[in-house]
Amino acid sequence: MLDKIIKDIKDAKTLTHENITALLDSPDETLWAQVFERADDIRKKNFGDAVHLRGLLEFSNYCKRNCLYCGLRKDNKTQYRYRMPPDEIVENAVQIASFGIKTIVLQSGEDPYYTTDIICNILRDIKKNADTAITLSIGEKTRDEYKAFFDAGADRYLIRHETASPSLYASLHPDSTLKERLNCIDDLFSIGFQVGIGCMVGLPGQTHSDMAADILLLQEKQPDMIGMGPFICNQDTPLQGALSGTIEQTLKMTALARIVCPRSHLPATTATGSIDRFGREKALAVGANVVMPNFTPLNYRMHYTIYPNKRCITEDGYKCNTCIRKMIENEGRTVATGYGHSLRFESSTGQTS
Ligand code: SF4
């Protein structure tokens, strides 16, 4: 059966839940080497060797929600909280763009302080003053709010589905459901955003069947971007003491994501680089084509602790940018110079490069 699955992968056939589960059940390294090679080939065919940089700005660590795995959860009273004033967000975004970064990712917990008007003003001010695409990653909102962000200039929206298993999702998210999450994702697509979804790998209680459901959801939605990283246990959350996801699992899921979504932008995530010193390099070798240097000012960055021991917590944005560019070159890859829009929009806008 496994040989047949590898043949299906090579023939670019649609994968089934049963096939993906069987693959994930297999510890056969020779088989996985073939999967990794195929994922890398697909990356090369669709994106070449260029790696896109997305400059990350984590502007608030307040959150009204209580996701069990997250250090920013509302009930984590040990967490020091910060909010960047709108002017400072715009100032930082303009500076990030001056480093040649063509996408800025504005990320925060679900913080009601930033009303729709405040976010829209920030978006308009950045677009007025910097030549950059903007990705928002600020959680679940109404369709009208998403539409307002889109009209104000947001190009992309990142909202991981976290896990495609309804029961696992429910056990980790006391204040939301998978259905609500998926509705948000559908709203974002219908508005015209470039949409990013994705999951955590190695969650407590997550089975290979659950992980196969994640890959199937990616296959079905064909998102413009994918966020795939390991679960990393945070001792200041109800999941304290749980085992974290492993680099092996994460690389397997990254490769499978690339195989089922040949044309999605797929980052070598910071979380992957946080569980393994060469995690990002390894992810770049199995299908990833994006890296996200962190430009959050140092006085805030150490407090954005969804998980502990995060990579690049002490380098300023300039150093992080330089270090990541060097890492990409060391891997024999190049740094892309364009906006890195979705390939879906490439032919109509000509903006991707
Ligand atoms: S995962 Fe996101 S929504 Fe959930 S508590 Fe953390 S920051 Fe808030």
In CATH, what number is assigned to the domain containing residue 336?
Answer: 3.20.20.70
* Gap between the Cα atoms of 240 and 24, Å rounded: 26
Cα of 73 from ligand 1 centre, angstroms: 6
**Residue list, ligand 1 pocket, CB within 6 Å:** 63, 65, 67, 70, 72-73, 109-110, 139, 306
Q: What local confidence, expressed as pLDDT, does residue 138 receive?
A: 98
Residue 44 lies in a domain: no
Q: What are phi and psi of 201, to 5 degrees?
A: -115, 130
Residue 38 lies in a domain: no
Which amino acid residue places its CA nearest to atom 7 of ligand 1?
A: 109
Check: CB of residue 126 under 8 Å from CB of residue 57.
no
* Gap between the Cα atoms of 247 and 244, Å rounded: 10
Cα of 75 from ligand 1 centre, angstroms: 11
Q: What local confidence, expressed as pLDDT, does residue 13 receive?
A: 87
DSSP SS3 for 199: strand
User: Look-up: residue for tokens 């994930």?
Assistant: 24
Q: Among 110, 158, 236, which is best to mutate for testing ligand 1, by the most ligand atoms less than 8 A from CB?
A: 110
Residue 32 lies in a domain: no
Q: Residue 331 is which amino acid?
A: E
Q: What is the largest CA-CA distance in the chain?
A: 58
Check: CB of residue 156 under 8 Å from CB of residue 137.
no
Q: Among 59, 67, 177, which is best to mutate for testing ligand 1, by the most ligand atoms less than 8 A from CB?
A: 67
Number of domains in the chain: 1
Residue 29 lies in a domain: no
Cα of 300 from ligand 1 centre, angstroms: 17
Whole-number Cα distances in Å, 122 to 89, 130, 134: 7, 12, 11
Q: Residue 333 is which amino acid?
A: R
Tokens of residue 228, six digits: 């795939």
Residue 130 lies in a domain: yes
Ligand 1 atom having least distance to the Cα of 72 = 6
Residue 9 lies in a domain: no
Check: CB of residue 219 under 8 Å from CB of residue 257.
no
* Gap between the Cα atoms of 102 and 11, Å rounded: 35
DSSP SS3 for 86: helix
* Gap between the Cα atoms of 116 and 347, Å rounded: 32
Which amino acid residue places its CA nearest to atom 5 of ligand 1?
A: 73
Residue 18 lies in a domain: no
* Gap between the Cα atoms of 107 and 111, Å rounded: 11
* Gap between the Cα atoms of 105 and 113, Å rounded: 19
Q: What local confidence, expressed as pLDDT, does residue 353 receive?
A: 40
Which amino acid residue places its CA nearest to atom 4 of ligand 1?
A: 67
Cα of 304 from ligand 1 centre, angstroms: 11
Ligand 1 atom having least distance to the Cα of 109 = 7
Q: What local confidence, expressed as pLDDT, does residue 344 receive?
A: 87
Ligand 1 atom having least distance to the Cα of 139 = 3
Chain centroid offset of residue 105 CA: 10
* Gap between the Cα atoms of 249 and 229, Å rounded: 10
User: Phi-psi bin for 15: left (phi > 0), alpha (psi -120 to 50), beta?
Assistant: beta
Residue 12 lies in a domain: no
DSSP SS3 for 16: coil
Domain extent for 70: 54-340
Check: CB of residue 197 under 8 Å from CB of residue 28.
no
Written as tens digits, the pLDDT of the chain (353 aa) is 888 888 888 888 899 999 999 999 999 999 999 999 999 999 999 999 999 999 999 999 999 999 999 999 999 999 999 999 999 999 999 999 999 999 999 999 999 999 999 999 999 999 999 999 999 999 999 999 999 999 999 999 999 999 999 999 999 999 999 999 999 999 999 999 999 999 999 999 999 999 999 999 999 999 999 999 999 999 999 999 999 999 999 999 999 999 999 999 999 999 999 999 999 999 999 999 999 999 999 999 989 988 877 777 777 777 888 889 999 999 999 999 999 999 987 654 333 44
Q: Among 65, 140, 176, which is best to mutate for testing ligand 1, by the most ligand atoms less than 8 A from CB?
A: 65
Q: What local confidence, expressed as pLDDT, does residue 58 receive?
A: 97
Ligand 1 atom having least distance to the Cα of 140 = 3
* Gap between the Cα atoms of 175 and 172, Å rounded: 9
